[in-house]
């Protein structure tokens, strides 16, 4: 389809979004990610029945933790689409890229960089 | 099992903020099953704390460890060789584990990471309900397997009381009247005659009101 999408995100493949856990999202932030978005199948279409519902809850849990520690829960988001919706995948990546750019770099990343420069 | 609930992160941050080297210590038993203080929760909490303090520009060492149990000497011994590396331990075990760890490592401050709630069952995913108050003198044989001590708000021994209405307790319309449950079960078991037997005055000395308790079993002592 040769769709245009931002080149600044890294795709981590999972067998099902139900595999994702809160710690996976938090670790990404701990390593300096500015945002994380999870793309699962359409709700009701999960091959494993509830995988994407579980993922949605865990994304919400991660967001709540990020809010409490001052990183910002709006840096994580869950999207749903079907495997045939490549253009929508590209659209979501552009949307997330714009959202994170508007929020600016993650305070963790800023602090890690400051620490590196000081060393 | 012992049911615990997570403490708010804000409260934990306040408690640990003065320590530079912290060990987040989980427990593989009850608190793992009730998803409050197992390996997973240790990972998440430690990660959140590390991020919080990095953001604040504070240099802190926050490590993770999960023991098989924190209420047994042999498992607690596993951290003896590393305990000196930490200024404090944030224990996600129940109150028993926190205290036993504190007793064993006398010079290390212990901070609880969970609120220990009760002895209960996993009624459904994400929901735990109280079933036992460890009164030390079980009467379940007489009450159809339903405990009036833990499940009746008044701990009535010959119930129900006047607050039972349509099978519910007066303190909460969603709470089953324990004595209604007992009568229903005795009826189903064909043992409703047992209900007629007036329960004797309970000996509460085996309960908490008799002070902290100890069980000594000479037959299993070595």
Per-residue pLDDT tens for A24-81?
A: 999 999 999 999 999 999 999 999 999 999 999 999 999 999 999 999 999 999 999 9
Residue B193 has pLDDT above 90, yes or no: yes
Q: In whole angstroms, what is the distance from residue B70 CA to residue B80 CA?
A: 13
Q: In whole angstroms, what is the distance from residue A16 CA to residue A67 CA?
A: 26
The nearest CA of chain A is from the CA of B31 a distance in Å of 18
B47 to A27: CB separation less than 8 angstroms, yes or no: yes
Residue-level pLDDT at B103 = 97
DSSP string computed for B14-60: HHHTT-SEEEEEEESSHHHHTTSSSHHHHHHHHHHHHHHHHHTT---
Residue A119 has pLDDT above 90, yes or no: no
B85: tokens are: 């590396």
**A79 in contact with chain B, both atoms CB, cutoff 8 A:** no
Axis-axis angle for helices B9-16, A51-68 (nearest 10): 40
The nearest CA of chain B is from the CA of A4 a distance in Å of 33
Which residues of chain A lie closer than 8 angstroms to B49, CB-CB? 69
Q: pLDDT tens across A86-99, in order?
A: 999 999 999 999 99
A69: tokens are: 């520690």
Dihedral pair phi/psi, residue B194, rounded to 5°: -60, -30
Which residues of chain B lie closer than 8 angstroms to A68, CB-CB? 8-10, 48
Residue-level pLDDT at A71 = 95
Q: Which residue has the tokens 């840096």?
A: A75
Residue B61 has pLDDT above 90, yes or no: yes
Which residues of chain A lie closer than 8 angstroms to B40, CB-CB? 21, 23
Provide mean pLDDT across the span B7-18: 97
State the complex-level ipTM: 0.94
Task: Write down the domain spans for chain B.
Answer: 2-118, 135-202
Q: Judged by CB atoms within 8 Å, which residues 84-123 of B form the interface with A?
A: none
Q: Within 10 A of A25 (CB to CB), how many other CB atoms are there?
A: 26
A22 to B57: CB separation less than 8 angstroms, yes or no: no
Instruction: Give the CATH number of domain B2-118.
Output: 3.40.50.1970
Which residues of chain B lie closer than 8 angstroms to A21, CB-CB? 40
Residue-level pLDDT at A1 = 77
Do residues A90 and A6 make contact, with C-beta atoms less than 8 angstroms apart?
no
**A108 in contact with chain B, both atoms CB, cutoff 8 A:** yes
B48 to A108: CB separation less than 8 angstroms, yes or no: no
Provide mean pLDDT across the span B128-148: 95
B47 to A30: CB separation less than 8 angstroms, yes or no: yes
Q: What percent of chain B has pLDDT over 70?
A: 100
Q: Name the band, by pLDDT with cuts 50, 70 and 90, for residue B146.
A: very high
Residue-level pLDDT at B79 = 97
Q: Name the band, by pLDDT with cuts 50, 70 and 90, for residue B210.
A: confident
Which residues of chain A lie closer than 8 angstroms to B10, CB-CB? 68
Residue-level pLDDT at B215 = 94
- The mean pLDDT of chain B is 96
- Please list, in sequence order, all residues whose beta carbon lies within 8 angstroms of the beta carbon of residue B59, skipping any fewer than 6 positions away: B20, B53
Provide mean pLDDT across the span B120-129: 95
- The mean pLDDT of chain A is 95
Do residues B79 and B69 make contact, with C-beta atoms less than 8 angstroms apart?
no
């Amino acid at each position: 389809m040769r769709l245009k999408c931002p080149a600044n995100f890294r795709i981590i493949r999972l067998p099902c979004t139900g595999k994702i856990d809160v710690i996976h999202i938090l670790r990404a932030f701990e390593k300096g990610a500015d945002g994380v978005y999870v793309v699962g199948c359409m709700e009701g279409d999960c091959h494993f029945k509830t995988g994407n519902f579980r993922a949605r809850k865990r994304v919400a849990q991660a967001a709540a933790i990020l809010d409490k520690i001052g990183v910002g829960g709006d840096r994580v988001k869950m999207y749903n689409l079907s495997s045939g919706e490549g253009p929508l995948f590209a659209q979501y990546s552009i949307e997330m890229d714009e959202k994170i750019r508007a929020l600016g770099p993650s305070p963790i990343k800023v602090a890690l960089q400051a620490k590196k420069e000081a060393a | 099992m012992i049911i615990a609930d997570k403490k708010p992160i804000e409260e934990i941050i306040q408690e640990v903020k003065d320590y530079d080297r912290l060990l987040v210590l989980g427990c593989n038993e009850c608190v793992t099953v009730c998803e409050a203080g197992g390996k997973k929760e240790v990972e998440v909490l430690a990660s959140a704390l590390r991020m919080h303090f990095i953001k604040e520009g504070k240099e802190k060492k926050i490590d993770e460890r999960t023991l098989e149990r924190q209420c047994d000497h042999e498992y607690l011994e596993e951290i003896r060789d590393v305990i000196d590396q930490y200024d404090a331990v944030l224990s996600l075990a129940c109150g028993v584990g926190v205290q036993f760890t504190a007793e064993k490592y006398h010079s290390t401050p212990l901070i609880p990471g969970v609120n220990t709630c009760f002895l209960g069952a996993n009624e459904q995913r994400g929901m735990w309900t109280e079933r036992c108050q460890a009164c030390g003198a079980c009467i379940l044989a007489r009450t159809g397997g339903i405990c009036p001590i833990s499940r009746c708000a008044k701990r009535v021994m010959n119930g129900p009381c006047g607050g039972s209405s349509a099978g519910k307790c007066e303190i909460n319309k969603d709470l089953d009247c324990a004595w209604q449950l007992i009568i229903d079960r005795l009826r189903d078991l064909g043992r409703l005659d047992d209900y007629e037997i007036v329960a004797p005055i309970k000996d509460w000395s085996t309960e908490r009101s008799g002070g902290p308790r100890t069980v000594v079993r000479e037959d299993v002592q070595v």
